[in-house]
Chain A
Amino acid sequence: MNGDLQLNADGSLRHLLTLDGLPARILTQILDTAESFISVAQREVKKVPLLRGKAIFNLFFEPSTRTRTTFEIAAKRLSADVVNLNIASSAQSKGETLLDTVANLSAMQADMFVVRHAASGAPHLIARHVAPHIHVVNAGDGRCAHPTQGLLDMFTIRQHKGSFHNLRVAVVGDLLHSRVARSQIHALTTLGCPEVRVVAPRTLLPRDVDSLGVHVHYRMETGIKDCDVVIMLRLQNERMQGALLPSPQEYFKYWGLTPDKLRLARPDVIVMHPGPMNRGVEIDSGVADGVHSVILNQVTYGIAVRMAVMSLLAGN
């Protein structure tokens, strides 16, 4: 994916499409700005007047509850006007029709599009065709990227661990179908995390895994050993085709994160999950609701991170 599309000539962020190729300075600026928005959420009035008069369109061609809701709350807390469009995905709603939709919404004086689409590259396509003043945020495209999820994961790690420089981080589970994992790995590497591991059965690893600059583990027990952060991925049943796995029960036995397995990690390990969770498949309830879990914090941080992204984009 072309990363240059998302930067202005002066190096500032114009669109947020992928974390791939984004310099550390921009990642850090987003995380720093998000920290200020955390304090806004603790006030009597949780809004700031920054994006007054701006119109933000949430274009969701694929269903999503958490991501769409947190984008909506974030935009509202910035005082923007938000319009939610849930457009059911179909084979025809690509190419010209997608651009026609965008052209029509642009004619309604849109200032920003937040795009979720089942087809990889759809937000890039829109970004290439919008007027210069319009910003595009990728809210998840196909198997490609989910940059705000990656950013909120980085924010969560920074809030709980302080910095990235001495951390051992494991990303566990269905990497093959995950757009989140790619965004996470890019961001972790850029922010200076010295050891990123991916832990998965061979059938759920992408073919190009060696090019990601990570340590590959095929066993849970070695994969999460001594880790500071364990990021669980959702087993994406709806994206599975063919016999990649025996059964969810079998998967849980070998790859589910249980309190017993978690004891192999560091005593102060944090456990993350982008949601929605499959309890009893990739994660045991004892871990999901346990003391090491920061899964609900991630949701809260997600609002602040999305506020930071939208306010930085709108100001550039």
Chain B
Amino acid sequence: MHLPQPGELTATLAEAIRPALTPDCALVGIHTGGVWVMDALAEVLGVDSPRGVLDISFYRDDFSRIGLHPQVKPSRIPFDVEGRKILLVDDVLYTGRTVRAAMNLLFDYGRPAAIRLAVLVDRGGRELPICPDFMGLRLDLGPDRHISLQRDEAGVLSFLVREKV
């Protein structure tokens, strides 16, 4: 399957976001891929917006089935969420469960004025009523396939598509 490079998609996504990005808007990336995309977006857009990082492990809805994620990272929101416009960024949007968890987590920091969702790839397959405000690419990927974003030592992003085991 031919996929555009994440770098090209970031540029596309950035242009879609640019008109909506006001100075009072903060960027929040979902650990790990979403943080990479957020940082790449900020660079392309040349903005100095406050940035936060979310790890949604404590908010997952499958904890009672699979337990705690083995590598939880601290969430870091170095700004006041109360009344803030937030652009939530993730790499791949699939079932929508991660975004649901991320929104619940954000609300425990305060009541944001608005949350918009930007994703590099929307692969369909939603299980919750969530849809992105901005996306780099819409991709129809069957449930037997897995797509993830990777980053090499030089910081270059690439997609990894494989059969689900």
Contact = CB atoms under 8 A, between A and B. Distances in A.
Contact of B104 (A33, A40, A43, A49): A49
Interface size class of B (residues with CB under 8 A): 20 to 34
Contacts of B73: 36
A62 interface: no
A246 interface: no
B159 interface: no
A39 B72 contact: no
A212 interface: no
Contact of B72 (A32, A43, A45): A32
Q: Is the interface of B mostly helix, strand, loop or mixed?
A: loop
Q: Is the interface of A mostly helix, strand, loop or mixed?
A: helix
B72 A36 contact: yes
A71 to B, nearest CB: 18
Contacts of B64: 315
Interface size class of A (residues with CB under 8 A): 20 to 34
A39 B75 contact: yes
A314 B67 CA distance: 7
24 contacts: A12-B67, A32-B71, A36-B55, A36-B57, A36-B73, A36-B74, A38-B74, A39-B76, A40-B58, A40-B75, A43-B77, A43-B109, A44-B108, A44-B110, A45-B107, A45-B108, A48-B58, A48-B59, A49-B58, A50-B68, A312-B68, A315-B63, A315-B66, A315-B67
Interface of A: 12, 29, 32-33, 35-36, 38-40, 43-45, 47-50, 311-312, 314-316
Interface of B: 55, 57-59, 63-64, 66-68, 70-77, 81-82, 104, 107-110
